[in-house]
Amino acid sequence: MRDGLLAPSTFDTYCVDVGDLEAARAKVERALALQFVLHDSMYWGGDYYLASSDKFGEISIRSNYNSYTKELNEPDHPNCRIIVSVSKPAQPDVLKSRLVKHGLRLLRRAIIQDGRPQITDFVKYLVPVGFYRELRGGSPHQPSLRQAVRSSAMPDAVNVIKYLKAGKILVATGGPVSDVLDPKRGLIGPPHVVTDGTYAWPAILTHYVERHNVHLPHAFIAHMAVRDWNISPELDVQGLDIDWRPWTDSDENRAKDE
């Protein structure tokens, strides 16, 4: 306590990009040189690991999926499987540095100051779709644009194209690009990245869907349909980032994490 005021308390939430709880435990133990103990909780929906220290506070490692309620513990982060929660670390920035260095991602930081909560960091990670290896800046592990081309348009193509065009700019990038499937067509637009608040895609994806019958993942189509093919004009892109985990599955299977 200082001058009659309570010292601030920090509460952090991280995502671990691993497939199961045991792998997450091993990763966090390496980062912090702590030993975690297995517990069970109906509140969190099953097994979780817990450790505490004077330096790093209380740390829990748990699945995002609650096996009791059949819902996500962190519904704002549907593509994150394992959650790490930290309560009242004495050195929150030292802890953050260590965890980020070992591949964890900060999702949210809340600070309780004088009894009032303040959200100082909030990151929602978007599911990337339509980032093909043939496009500028593409990587070999990304899906192939050429393999996504079909002889006819996908169902609801008109609505899909309308939806893609309505995406709000997340990252504005200069320098127009050409059609990689038909270079003679010329420039097709700037390589912006746009979003609907859940997914992120290249703005030029619209061109490939419209002109080349590129088909998109079923999960993404269903996501658009549930929203009646509309993106809110009030969408705020602050605190949004793209989950650039290496693609180990097909574009469609990755999108199903959403």
> What's the total number of domains in the chain?
2
Q: 25-36 pLDDT, tens per residue?
A: 999 999 999 999
One domain for residues 78 and 143:
no
- How is residue 1 written in tokens? 């306590």
Residue that terminates a domain, selected from 66, 96, 122: 122
Amino acid 198: pLDDT: 92
Torsion of CA 162, 168, 170, 175, to 10 degrees: 60
Q: Residue 66: which domain range?
A: 9-122
Report which DSSP code applies to 183: G
Task: Note whether 123 and 106 are within 8 A (CB).
Answer: yes
One domain for residues 104 and 30:
yes
- How is residue 72 written in tokens? 């996500």
Q: 195-218 pLDDT, tens per residue?
A: 999 999 999 999 999 999 999 999
Domain containing residue 38: CATH number: 3.30.160.110
Amino acid 256: pLDDT: 38
**Mean pLDDT, rounded, of the chain:** 87
Rounded mean pLDDT of 126-155? 92
One domain for residues 117 and 129:
no
One domain for residues 105 and 129:
no
Q: Which residues contact 237 (CB under 8 A, 6 or more apart)?
A: 168, 169, 170, 195, 197
Distance CA 132, CA 217 (A): 13
Residues in the chain: 258
Alpha helix stretches (DSSP H) within the chain: 21-32, 92-101, 145-148, 157-165, 205-212, 218-226, 251-255
One domain for residues 139 and 110:
no
Domain membership of residue 3 (yes or no) is no
Nearest one of 237, 257, 251 to 192, comparing CA atoms? 237
- What is the bridge-based pairing of β-strands 124-128 and 199-202? parallel
Rounded mean pLDDT of 221-234? 95
Q: 68-118 pLDDT, tens per residue?
A: 898 998 888 887 899 999 999 998 888 988 998 898 988 888 888 777 777
One domain for residues 106 and 194:
no
Torsion of CA 206, 210, 212, 217, to 10 degrees: 60
- How is residue 192 written in tokens? 């912006």
